[in-house]
Chains A and B, each alone.
Chain A
Amino acid sequence: MGAIRIIRPGLLTTVQDLGRWGYQAQGVPVGGPMDPYAHRLANLILGNAETAATLEITLIGPELVFEQDARFVVAGADLSPRLGDRAVPMHTVCAAPAGAVLAFGARRGGARAYLAVPDGIQVPPVLGSRATQLVSAMGGVEGRALRAGDRLEIGTAGGAHAPPGRSRRAIVALPARGAVVRVLPGPQAGYFTDAAMATLGASRYTITTRSDRMGYRLDGPRLEHARGADIISDATPLGVLQVPASGQPILLMADRQTAGGYPKIATLITADLAIAGQLAPGDWIGFEICSPRQAVAALIERERPFVQG
């Protein structure tokens, strides 16, 4: 076993895998990567299983040292990674000699980068997952964001891992300052006026600073309820747009609660998690209402790099 040591943690760096699925009926939130495609791609390029735990790095990256020779891949947001004084190419297997320091700089595009290391970050699984869920303080390192001095075990550089230089293209063009994502109406579109759906499809919303891994609180044209803003609490699936009485929607993301009592006008399509997960407070977000057929086509397109291996 090798290890990496955190010198500076950055803004919000957490251990993530594909999430703690299967326990929402117990009230346990799923967690997992905000951009699951970039997480999976980082693992794919390095030769890991896609379930291997990566570090999710948010806007301002950490500074960390490899305690032994190790290969790694950075995918997703381009936060100007560098190894020592050399720039690290995105989506490419790189070799770090023992003692090398990986650091990050300016945000060039996207919001969340994923660092894959051999065999993944070796924190103990909690309820079957290594994903950090900050609100329930579960998974990762003591259920919290990384701190200076944390030491994380990883696999070794050898074995079946991909050779340095192996590279893949990014999954999506990284959004710059904002993006349009596709949604399907529902599950509670009937709780809103027809005008609300039209407004949603025609407007740009700002992702406010009160946004986090649980959800993006949006600011923009009000979405009018047709029959009140309260429902009997029900499940809150990944990517739903719930609308409280204020009419300002909240896009529920990885760390969302398992249930909520607000009507949900529309739901992000799975493929566009790759875009939504790369947005940050201050960016704008727009919603294109699409059809189930378009959602399936988008999903197949998004999966192409993974199917080809």
Chain B
Amino acid sequence: MRGPRAKAGPRIVGAGDSTLIVEFEARVSPAVNARALAVARAIAAAGFAGVRDIVPTYCSVAVSFDPLRTDVTALGAALEEAAARPAPRGRRTPAPIEIPVCYGGTFGPDLPEVARRAGCPEEEVVRLHTARVYRVYMLGFVPGFAYLGRVDDRIAVPRHATPRVRVPARSVGIAGFQTGIYPTETPGGWQLIGRTPLEPFDLGRAQPCLLQAGDAVRFVPISAGEFARLSGEAAPA
């Protein structure tokens, strides 16, 4: 969208003395995001001493390190080299991960509002939300929270002006072009349209996160009965 040098190539900026960030063109696009993920993989594979964290986001990668242990010049050079590579080609689009969602009712208290704004029936909102295969652009906010996009423009409603104090775990929401699932009960401003019986984040699993950046996701509508069966939880009336 906006950026000091939105048209320029990737640039490397510092955040303090212990983080370097590669910033790509400031826009939400699968190609830009794929380049950010490729840089993150390259730096992880290089195994620099002292690197503490590699955080890819929509169109940037932040590498945090121990300034006493990391050769910052070498890290900067490696970032520059990795960032200059073209978008990775030949990586097959992964098969979509199917996420069952029970839409509306008490699980999706904002579905009527989203439908009103979209000027269509609730069923059409559900149809539009489930019609697309979404890309997982990044994880953030809380453990296991995946930012998916882009939703159909007709249902791309802005988040609430005042966030809810409590959003139930596994709620599925929309915020502008993004859609996502709340892994745990937190405050949150996204428009809630349904709930999934799956656990987005579970420390009991070898890989706690259900979704990883770069994954493809499709939402599948399920009934309240199926929700109850899959989650072992009482469905709403």
Using a CB-CB cutoff of 8 Å, which residues 42-72 of chain B contact chain A? Answer: 52-62, 64, 67-68
CB closest residue in chain B, given A227: B2
Asked whether A237 and B139 contact (CB < 8 A) given A22-B52, A26-B208, A295-B17, the answer is no
A190 contacts B58, C-beta separation under 8 Å:
no
Question: Is B142 part of the contact surface with A, judged by Cβ < 8 Å?
Answer: yes
B118 near A: Cβ within 8 Å?
A: no
Partner of B53 from A30, A135, A228 at Cβ < 8 Å: A30
Q: Which residue of B lies closest to A303 (CB)?
A: B68
Closest to B19 in A: A237
Query: Counting CB contacts under 8 A, is A264 at the interface?
Result: yes
C-alpha gap A227/B21 in the complex (Å): 20
Q: Is the CB of A27 within 8 A of B145?
A: yes
A186 contacts which chain B residues (CB < 8 A)?
13-15
**Chain B residues in 8 Å Cβ range of A239:** 16
A25-B26 in contact (CB<8A)? no
Task: Tell me, in angstroms, the Cα distance from A196 to B126 when the chains sit together.
Answer: 45
Check: B18 CB closer than 8 A to any chain A CB: yes
Nearest neighbor of A183 in chain B, beta-carbon distance: B16
* A residues less than 8 Å from B203 (CB atoms): 126-127
Rounded to whole angstroms, the CA-CA distance of A23 and B64 in the bound complex is: 12
Cβ contact within 8 Å between A259 and B141: yes
A184 close to chain B: CB less than 8 A: yes
A115 interfacial by beta-carbon distance below 8 Å: no
A235-B144 in contact (CB<8A): no
CB distance B2 to A270 under 8 Å? Answer: no
- Cβ contact within 8 Å between A187 and B15: yes
Q: Is the CB of A184 within 8 A of B17?
A: yes
- Name the residue of chain B whose CB is nearest to the CB of A137: B184
Least CB separation from B183: chain A residue:
A27
How many of chain B's residues have a CB under 8 angstroms from any CB in A? 49
Interface presence of A231 (CB below 8 A)? yes
* B61, B140, B213, most chain A CB atoms within 10 A: B140
Check: B9 CB closer than 8 A to any chain A CB: no
B55 engages A258 (CB within 8 Å): yes
Partner of B1, one of A27, A232, A267: A232
In angstroms, Cα B213 to Cα A193, docked, is: 34
| Closest A residue, CB atoms, query B37 | A25
B-chain residues with CB within 8 Å of residue A231 when the two chains form the complex: 1-3, 26
Cβ–Cβ contact A21 & B21, under 8 A: no
Q: Within the assembled complex, what's the spacing in Å between the Cα atoms of A183 and B4?
A: 21
Within 8 A of B (CB), among A124-149: 126-127, 135-138
Flag if A259 contacts B140 (CB, 8 Å): yes
Q: B211's closest neighbor in chain A, by CB?
A: A26
Closest beta carbon of chain A to B184's beta carbon, Å: 7
A237 pairs with B16, CB closer than 8 A: yes
Q: Once the chains are docked, how many angstroms separate the CA of A257 from the CA of B4?
A: 24
B52 engages A295 (CB within 8 Å):
no
Contact with B along A19-36 (1 / 0, CB 8 A): 001111111111000000
* Cα separation A239 to B19 with both chains bound (whole Å): 10
Residue pair B1, A292 in contact (C-beta under 8 Å): no
| Contact yes or no, A267 B53, CB < 8 A | no
Q: B141 near A258 (CB under 8 angstroms)?
A: yes
What residues of chain B lie closer than 8 Å to A65, measured between beta carbons? none
Bound-complex Cα distance A137 to B184 (A): 10
Interface positions, chain A 107-131, Cβ under 8 Å from B, are 126-127
| B1-29 with Cβ < 8 A to chain A | 1-4, 13-19, 21, 23, 26-28
Determine if B139 and A292 form an interchain contact, defined as CB atoms under 8 angstroms apart. Answer: no
Chain A residues whose C-beta falls within 8 Å of the C-beta of B64 in the assembled complex: 21, 24, 237-238
**Distance, CA A25 to CA B140, complexed state (A):** 7
Task: Mark contacts of B125-144 with chain A using CB atoms, 8 A cut-off: 1 yes-contact digit, 0 otherwise.
Answer: 00000000000001111111
* B140 neighbours in A (Cβ, 8 Å): 24, 27, 233, 257-259
User: Is A216 close to B, CB under 8 A?
Assistant: no
Q: Which B-chain residue is minimally distant from A190 (CB atoms)?
A: B4
A259 touches B55 (CB 8 A): yes
Bound-complex Cα distance A270 to B67 (A): 8
Flag if B16 contacts A299 (CB, 8 Å): no
A70: interface (CB < 8 Å): no
Contacts of A28 in B (CB 8 A): 143
13 A-B pairs in the complex with CB atoms less than 8 angstroms apart = A23-B143, A24-B140, A25-B53, A26-B144, A27-B144, A137-B184, A186-B13, A231-B2, A233-B57, A238-B64, A257-B142, A258-B141, A296-B67
Instruction: Name B residues whose Cβ lies closer than 8 Å to a Cβ of A.
Output: 1-4, 13-19, 21, 23, 26-28, 40, 52-62, 64, 67-68, 138-147, 183-184, 186, 201, 203, 208-209, 213
Given contact pairs A186-B14, A270-B18, a sample of 12 additional A-B residue pairs in the complex whose CB atoms are under 8 Å apart = A24-B53, A27-B144, A135-B186, A188-B4, A231-B1, A237-B19, A237-B64, A257-B141, A257-B142, A258-B139, A259-B138, A296-B67
